[in-house]
Amino acid sequence: MKTIYKRPEVFTDAITTYCGGCGHGIINKLIAELVDEMGFRKNGIICWPIGCSCLADAYYDMDLMMCLHGRAPAVSTGMKRADPSKFILCYQGDGDMVSEGMAEIMHAAIRGEKFTVLFVNNAIYGMTGGQMAPTTLIGQKATTAPYGRMEDTSGYPVQMAELMATMPGVYYSERVAVNSPQNIMKAKKAMKKAFELQMEGKGLTFVEILSMCPTGWSTSPVKATEWVTEKMMPVYPLGVKKDMSEEA
Ligand SMILES: Cc1ncc(C[n+]2csc(CCOP(=O)(O)OP(=O)(O)O)c2C)c(N)n1
Ligand code: SF4
Ligand SMILES: [Mg+2]
């Protein structure tokens, strides 16, 4: 029989704890495929955040580091500086990055650190029960915003991919999504490009990924994929925000 798809070899046999329809599982699979395809299993380290993805350290048979509360960019900085030949992946959610650890990602970008950041934007604190994040949309309900986010008390959604693009130390910034097969393929392409640029020794490479949280959004997996297109994309438009390799 002809093999048309193989489970990535870097995966352990662990069953994930993600809810049905969660985007983290898709993104984790893309990472595993790229680790296999690009040969990072022996030479790579993934820095995981707090949040629903924090248990992902059980899913990969390679070097991993659990980083507390928004500090993954600081840990990644230490790892990359200690051995610049390593592939270093900094994985963060929106509560972790934009709320708890905003200073860490900003300073990593200011310094132009040479690792890759995957920023999983699901517009909510998933793990802790659907609280409002800095990325929550205006009018979006959260357990800490039962009437919906209001700009006069809670400010505006933060557009990280655009913000990163303004920083001289950031070499590449793109926003993708994982809510359809076509978008998943584009997301993998962006991740691969960021990983390649990192291995060429370029500055910070940043990929924001719009991701579904059906549980935190109190909706079904299918409706969650539609919500990404209808509600998130107008506020968080997809596309390349900065690519210094095109400008060179
Ligand atoms: C200092 C501190 N603040 C808050 C928490 C609780 N906490 C753990 S995960 C999490 C939410 C993470 O949300 P996000 O980064 O968006 O990840 P998601 O689960 O949505 O992927 C919070 C608030 C904590 N453990 N410690
Ligand atoms: S709460 Fe949301 S982010 Fe967390 S596993 Fe469930 S769907 Fe995924
Ligand atoms: Mg989140």
Q: With helix as H, strand as E and coil as C, how does 32-74 read? A: HHHHHHHCCCCCEEEEECCCHHHHHHHCECCEEEECCCCCHHH
Q: In the predicted model, what is the mean pLDDT of residues 138-157?
A: 97
pLDDT, one tens digit per residue, over 33-66 is 999 999 999 999 999 999 999 989 899 999 999 9
Q: Per-residue pLDDT for 248 more than 90?
A: no
> Does ligand 1 lie within 6 Å of residue 22's CB atom?
no
Cα of 126 vs centre of ligand 1, distance in Å, is: 8
How many CB atoms sit inside 10 A of residue 219's CB?
16
The binding-site residues of ligand 2, defined as CB within 6 angstroms of any ligand atom, are: 18-19, 22, 24, 52, 122, 126-127, 213-216
Tokens 């915003």 belong to which residue?
145
For ligand 1, atom 22: residue with the closest CA: 128
Quote the pTM value: 0.97
Pocket test for ligand 1, best of 48, 69, 208 (most atoms within 8 A of CB): 69
pLDDT, one tens digit per residue, over 148-205 is 999 999 999 999 999 999 999 999 999 999 999 999 999 999 999 999 999 999 999 9
> Does domain 23-126+135-211+219-239 match CATH 3.40.50.970?
yes
Q: In the predicted model, what is the mean pLDDT of residues 81-94?
A: 98
CA of 216, closest atom in ligand 1: 20
Pocket test for ligand 2, best of 15, 213, 217 (most atoms within 8 A of CB): 213
CA of 212, closest atom in ligand 2: 7
Concatenating the DSSP letter of every residue in the chain gives --------TTB-SPPP-PPTT-HHHHHHHHHHHHHHHHT-TTTEEEEE-SSGGGGGGGTBSSEEEE--TT-HHHHHHHHHHH-TTSEEEEEEEHIIIIIITHHHHHHHHHHT-SSEEEEEE-SSBTTTTSB--TTPPBT--BTTBTT-B-HHHH-----HHHHHHT-TTEEEEEEEE-SSHHHHHHHHHHHHHHHHHHHTT-SEEEEEEE---TTTTTS-HHHHHHHIIIIIHHHS--EEEEEHHHH-
Looking at residue 223, its amino acid is: K
**Nearest-5° Cα angle at 203, 200 to 204:** 115
